[in-house]
A = this chain, B = another copy of it.
């Protein structure tokens, strides 16, 4: 596991995402890291993140898979160019499509582990598959098609 999370390399103006922006004080602020050829993110849901009592809300699961996957896509793109995530120009990805299969109810109250794998890197597109586990058991599977943010959408200011 590296010391600094993928998201900690994002430029300030790209760090307000509700799911993964370190500067969004109301958001989830997830952190993703390499672990060999996989990527890993651990998140402890809040008590309010419930679907029905005792189980995690599916929208949170989708959000974790979404942001961990776009972070993984960015990390993979840097790795494919054989450069560090703090080198220029910055690479940032948005979600083109998100698919989640909910395999079993996800227990609330324990850390969730999202593991990402790079399925494809092709031009500006990266496909990431993932599992979300609780207590070592896979509860959901995800697939995200991430595309590099078009330059016109990258904010130039601080962008609050």
Query: A residues engaging B (CB < 8 A)?
Result: 13-14, 16-19, 21, 24-27, 46, 48-55, 57-60, 62-63, 66-67, 92, 94-102, 105, 149, 153-155, 157, 159-160
A-B pairs with lowest CB-CB distance, top 3: A59-B63, A53-B159, A26-B48
Closest beta carbon of chain B to A102's beta carbon, Å: 5
B102 contacts A99, CB within 8 Å? Answer: no
Chain B residue numbers with a CB within 8 Å of A50 are 16-18, 21, 24
Shortest CB-to-CB span from A83 to chain B, Å, is 22
Complex Cα distance, B63 from A100, in Å, reads 12
Closest to A19 in B: B59
Alpha-carbon separation in the docked complex, A60 to B98 (Å): 12
Do B105 and A101 have beta carbons less than 8 Å apart? no
**Residue from B60, B67, B160 within 8 A of A18 (CB atoms):** B60
What distance in Å separates the Cβ of A118 from its nearest Cβ neighbour in chain B? Answer: 19
Q: In the complex the two chains form, what is the Cα distance from A50 to B60 in whole Å? A: 15
